[in-house]
Amino acid sequence: MGADATTLHIAVHALASSLQAQVAAVFFVSAACTVALALLLALLRLRPPWWCACPVCEAYVTASWAREFDNLCDWYAHLLRRAPGRTVHVHVLGNVLTANPATVDHMLRCRFDNYPKGAPFSAILADFLGRGIFNVDGDGWLFQRKLAAAELASPAIRAFAANVVASELRCRLIPLLRSASSYGSERLLDLQDVFRRFAFDCICKISFGLDPGCLELSLPISAFADAFDTASMLSARRATVPMHVVWKLKRLLNIGEERELRDAIRLVDALAAEVIRQRRKLGSAASGDDLLSRFMGSINDDKYLRDIVVSFMLAGRDTVASGLTAFFLLLSDHPEVAAAIRDEVFRVAGGRDPTAASFDFDKLKDMHYVHAALYESMRLFPPVQFDSKFAAGEDTLPDGTFVAKGTRVTYHAYAMGRMESLWGPDCAVFRPERWLSGGRFVPESPYRYPVFQGGVRVCIGKDLAIMEMKAVIVAVVLSFDVEAVDRSSRRPKFAPGLTATFAGGVPVRVRRRAHCAPS
């Protein structure tokens, strides 16, 4: 009897185990079917790419445009040049692209309230930028803008920023280039990397009151820089996916690029937290005049502070580095512009022999040709190639294009700089003189040249960025000849990212110049 009970018990246990496995399998299959159904419904709602067979959408989805163009932005410029009204609709992205100044004016000024960043854009960049100024609308954006604008407008912070840039030039950048030039012509330097490091030092000192060379960081700057670039690149790629449910699912499952993005953001978070910790550690020992200290006086939320820190790093490092890299790449192809810059510097200096170490930065405002050359460079290579808003309600653009609620509308600064209708038949030529009248710099409408945006959202750091870039240009052009190696401004290759980045860097040879007045 005992044996029978034991046998029965074993049989029941085996049956239960079998049923348990079957029940688990049923639950798993049911869950999988539910997820598949949800995905199918999401795809139906999002109108998958194969529902649009227009030539533009087909070329985008199949990437056939890459057979003729090196960069997506060049293909967009090609489409916009040919389009009536300089506007194109990429249906699979739900995106209206424009290179029409009237439409840019409409978006940024006339109907500003109808074109916020929007929830879809914020979702794409939320993991990286959080609630920082570049990723929010409404009260959050207004609060950060007012606080930052008030600080950047003060004479004290402008003087402080000029001193920071002068010190970085004198003590770090110029000695680095001098060292590179002393090793002979065979040593190559990645100028893009150099300018990123320089701009990072400057923005950390100006915005956070901290010097990356002196911080007790738990991570080396190189690791942070790699993580920051990766986070920027992968966040930007989210916007190129026709069906956002794809990247959202990858993020949920923590696989592929989304896993790589999460790892990169973890490193960015670590450095931002260290910046905040070190700023608090300094406390009253520091002046407290930097931007971060001002925000700390109004915000107790460290996550919010982290988002502000990352946004300032993005603005202060990537845009300035991008602008400078493109400028010197163009200068390598146009030595006559470098000669004209030197002529102007000597003229403004009163015929004396100025050096990078002793030049008076107050004289930068009198250098109209340098200013024109910088603007001309950013016309061809804007640090931010395009900017998108999402329509809060239905609208009709000035060219007659209907915009449904929720549509992404993008003005393409890179394409606008290559429009013959805007800049004439020599629009592809680097010609600083187009910005001069009687030897003085004359700006264009910000809606024709939206490099710094326009209207209510015009860049509050514009003057600071221009000062920094002009100072670098003058200091480097005076002291060195910079020659790009195996790279040309005539056929650039860009890497994905939130700002314009040259794929593979920009290797250069640096040669010291003898200081002598031009003939």
* Annotated binding-site positions for heme: 459
DSSP assigned state of 164 = H
Q: Which residues are CB-neighbours of 360 under 8 A, at least 6 positions away?
A: 349
Interior angle at CA 427, CA 421 and CA 430, nearest 5:
160
How many secondary structure helices (H) and strands (E) does the chain include? 20, 13
- Asked if 385 contacts 413 with a C-beta cutoff of 8 angstroms, the reply is yes
- Looking up tokens 């004359």 gives 442
Binding residues: 459
Cα separation, 112 vs 118, in Å, equals: 12
Three-class DSSP category at 459: coil
Cα separation, 79 vs 98, in Å, equals: 10
**CA dihedral over 387, 388, 394, 397, signed as positive or negative:** positive
Residue 198 phi, psi dihedral angles, 5° rounding: -60, -50
Q: Burial level of 8, CB count in 10 A (0-12/13-18/19+)?
A: exposed
- Give the residue among 282, 178, 269, 265 at the shortest CA–CA distance from 230: 265
> CA distances (Å), 401 to each of 96, 110, 393, 424, in order?
9, 16, 14, 25
Q: CA 327, 413, 310, 304: dihedral to nearest 10 degrees? A: 160
Beta bridge partners of 96: 89, 409
Of all residues in the chain, what percent are helix, strand and coil, respectively (each to 5)? Answer: 65, 10, 30
Using only the alpha carbons of the chain, give its radius of gyration.
Answer: 27
- Give the residue among 305, 291, 325 at the shortest CA–CA distance from 461: 291
CB atoms closer than 10 angstroms to residue 322: 25
- Looking up tokens 């960069």 gives 71
- Pairing mode, strands 87-90 and 408-412: unpaired
Cα separation, 261 vs 227, in Å, equals: 9
Cα separation, 128 vs 307, in Å, equals: 8
Q: CA 368, 370, 376, 381: dihedral to nearest 10 degrees? A: -150
What is the DSSP track for 327-348? Answer: HHHHHHH-HHHHHHHHHHHHHH
CB atoms closer than 10 angstroms to residue 269: 17
